[in-house]
């Protein structure tokens, strides 16, 4: 019934956290028609051959859920060319992912010159698909303020202005390159960033997606536990409430979970990893939205807008969503909601 265009499977050296086969199994029971996997795995997904190998893992799972894949981007022209070849060759490759700020993994393209280069090269190769971007401006982060004894300090380390500035940058770089594809601002979490995206829609193809955790969780939760640590971080309650309102009113294009499982010990102790598993909570979040929006709006933000933007040949599955899948993972941050 739904599409989740932002899921982190961990096959490879981190398969103990999540696998494609298990994620597809959970997605099937949640009621997904498709999931799109992210490339910041270990090793990362950068090439046609790596994409082929990952798609083969999905085929072996024999799931009714369509498996799509984002290929990672670096500031290397040859690697970008290989990524475009993967997109042109494999229908399961749905787009690209660029990390404009460091997050889990080591795929950051963090300086502005390199980010501009990526858009220039994509335009030179005639790419007109989706580039999803993790928008946090590295130079505005404050890592020296991180204190694991005060989990909420993570929200200070990665402040709202870092997201707003990065979104502004990406729009500027796309425009300068004459990029004709679709810029997608992944896991948008700041209302001011949504306002910037909405204004940019007048002159370019741009979308944004919000995660359930940026709508129903906030810094008060992060104050209690490192289990709530994620990138971008949770924001104050007023911002979270406004993000939910923006989603329901159609100012945000769709829901994406940023499903990113880690073991509890990896989050509570070094290396204090960021990420929240999102797939099990999705049906409960949809029910929360359903009470407030029309059937058409619900369809648009959970399926229609995603299918149209990515141009994937996916039909809605007819199925019932399961609401009791939290125990599939080591951590459940939504237990008390």
Evaluate if pTM is beyond 0.85: yes
Average pLDDT of 283-293?
A: 96
pLDDT above 90 covers a percentage of the chain that reads 94
User: In this predicted model, what pLDDT tens digit does every residue of 129-168 receive, in sequence order?
Assistant: 999 999 999 999 999 999 999 999 999 999 999 999 999 9
Average pLDDT of 283-300?
A: 97
Q: Is 171 helix (H, G, I), strand (E, B) or coil?
A: helix
> Is the confidence at residue 225, as pLDDT, over 90?
yes
pLDDT band at 106, cuts 50/70/90? confident
150 alpha carbon, distance to own chain's centre: 26
* Alpha-helical runs (H) found in the chain: 20-30, 48-61, 77-89, 112-124, 153-157, 160-177, 191-200, 213-216, 219-222, 237-249, 264-268, 282-290, 295-299, 305-310
Parse the chain into domains and list their residue ranges: 73-328
> Is the confidence at residue 105, as pLDDT, over 90?
no
| Average pLDDT value for the chain | 96
The token duo for 95 is: 């787009």
CATH of 73-328 given 3.20.20.140, 3.20.20.80, 3.40.50.2000, 2.160.10.10: 3.20.20.140
- Which run of H or E residues covers position 10? none
> Is the confidence at residue 245, as pLDDT, over 70?
yes
Q: Are 219 and 165 in contact (CB under 8 A)?
A: no
Per-residue pLDDT, 186: 98
> Is the confidence at residue 104, as pLDDT, over 90?
no
Please count the residues of the chain.
Answer: 337
> Is the confidence at residue 103, as pLDDT, over 80?
no
Weakest mean pLDDT among 99-113, 245-259, 282-296 = 99-113
CA distance 224 to 155: 13
- Is-cis flag, bond preceding 43, omega within 30? yes
Question: Quick count: other Cβ atoms within 10 Å of Cβ 120?
Answer: 17
CA distance 104 to 94: 21
Q: Are 179 and 156 in contact (CB under 8 A)?
A: no
User: In this predicted model, what pLDDT tens digit does every residue of 176-220 receive, in sequence order?
Assistant: 999 999 999 999 999 999 999 999 999 999 999 999 999 999 999
pLDDT band at 335, cuts 50/70/90? confident
Rounded to a whole number of angstroms, the distance between the first and last alpha carbons of the chain is 24
Per-residue pLDDT, 337: 78
User: In this predicted model, what pLDDT tens digit does every residue of 16-60 receive, in sequence order?
Assistant: 999 999 999 999 999 999 999 999 999 999 999 999 999 999 999
């Amino acid at each position: 019934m739904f599409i989740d265009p932002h899921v982190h499977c961990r096959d490879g050296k981190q398969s103990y956290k999540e696998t494609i086969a298990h994620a597809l199994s959970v997605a099937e029971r949640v009621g997904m028609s498709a999931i799109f996997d992210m490339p910041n795995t270990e090793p990362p997904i950068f090439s046609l051959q790596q994409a082929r190998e990952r798609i083969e893992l999905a085929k072996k799972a024999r799931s009714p859920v369509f498996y799509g894949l984002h290929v990672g981007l670096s500031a290397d022209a040859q690697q970008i060319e290989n990524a475009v070849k993967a997109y042109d060759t494999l229908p399961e490759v749905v787009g690209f992912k660029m990390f404009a700020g460091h997050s889990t993994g080591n795929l950051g393209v963090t300086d502005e010159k390199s980010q501009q280069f990526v858009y220039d090269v994509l335009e030179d190769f005639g790419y007109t698909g989706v580039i999803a971007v993790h928008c946090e401006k590295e130079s505005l982060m404050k890592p020296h303020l991180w204190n694991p004894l005060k989990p909420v300090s993570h929200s200070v380390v990665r402040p709202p202005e870092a997201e707003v500035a990065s979104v502004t940058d990406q729009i500027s770089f796309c425009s300068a390159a004459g990029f004709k594809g679709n810029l997608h601002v992944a896991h948008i979490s700041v209302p001011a960033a949504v306002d910037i995206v909405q204004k940019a829609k007048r002159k370019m193809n741009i979308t944004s997606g919000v995660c359930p955790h940026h709508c129903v969780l906030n810094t008060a939760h992060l104050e209690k536990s490192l289990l709530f640590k994620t990138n971008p971080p949770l924001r104050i309650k007023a911002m979270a409430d406004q993000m939910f309102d923006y989603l329901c009113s159609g100012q945000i294009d769709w829901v994406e979970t940023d499903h990113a499982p880690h073991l509890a010990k990896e989050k509570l102790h070094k290396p204090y990893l960021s990420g929240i598993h999102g797939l099990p909570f999705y049906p409960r979040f949809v029910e929360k939205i359903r009470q407030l929006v029309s059937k058409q709006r619900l369809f648009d933000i959970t399926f229609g807008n995603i299918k149209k933007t990515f141009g994937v040949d996916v039909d809605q599955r007819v199925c019932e969503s399961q609401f009791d899948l939290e125990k599939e993972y080591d951590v459940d941050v939504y237990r008390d909601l």
